[in-house]
């Protein structure tokens, strides 16, 4: 049972344009969401997170939007840069306090063309 889904295996955008990566979830108990970026031969690197009490969180070029009613979140990267080319994972967690078990989507490979 895939509780977190990233339905687009890949995405290609031109440098300078917006990249939009999507993620859907099924468990309404999730109350914290994260995005990680992964380069080959490296571990996932934390990018940005959002609590379920918010609908938007921004950090520089990265913005995460959460639509609880649709159980959908998205990551916007503006402007996209070639160095952003990587695999992006969304992850979800529930329960108060410390993040315990993270449940990941399958990942979306982003390619930013110069």
Partner 1 sequence: DAGVTQSPTHLIKTRGQQVTLRCSPKSGHDTVSWYQQALGQGPQFIFQYYEEEERQRGNFPDRFSGHQFPNYSSELNVNALLLGDSALYLCASSRRGQGRIRNIQYFGAGTRLSVL
Residue 16 beta carbon to partner 1: minimum distance, rounded to whole angstroms: 29
Q: What are phi and psi of 106, to 5 degrees?
A: -80, -15
Q: Within 63-102, which residues bind partner 1 (CB under 8 A)?
A: 89, 91, 93, 96-102
Q: Which of 57, 63, 53, 56 is nearest to 20 (CA)?
A: 63
Quote the CA–CA distance of 94 and 106 in Å, as a whole number.
Answer: 19
Residue 90 beta carbon to partner 1: minimum distance, rounded to whole angstroms: 9
Does 106 engage in binding with partner 1 (CB under 8 A)?
Answer: yes
Q: Within 18-57, which residues bind partner 1 (CB under 8 A)?
A: 32, 34, 36, 41-46, 49, 51
CA distances from 59 to 1, 7, 36, 62, 112 (A): 32, 24, 14, 5, 20
The residues of the shown chain that bind partner 1, judged by CB under 8 A, are 4, 6, 32, 34, 36, 41-46, 49, 51, 89, 91, 93, 96-107
């Amino acid at each position: 049972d895939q509780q977190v889904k990233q339905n687009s295996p890949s995405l290609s955008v031109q440098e300078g344009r917006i990249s939009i990566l999507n993620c859907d979830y099924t468990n309404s108990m999730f109350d914290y969401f994260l995005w990680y970026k992964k380069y080959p031969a490296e571990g996932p690197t934390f990018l940005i997170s959002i609590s379920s009490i918010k609908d938007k969180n921004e950090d520089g070029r990265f913005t995460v939007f959460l639509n609880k009613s649709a159980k959908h979140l998205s990551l916007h990267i503006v402007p996209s840069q070639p160095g952003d080319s990587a695999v992006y994972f969304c992850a979800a967690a529930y329960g108060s306090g410390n993040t315990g078990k993270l449940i990941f989507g399958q990942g979306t490979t982003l390619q930013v063309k110069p």
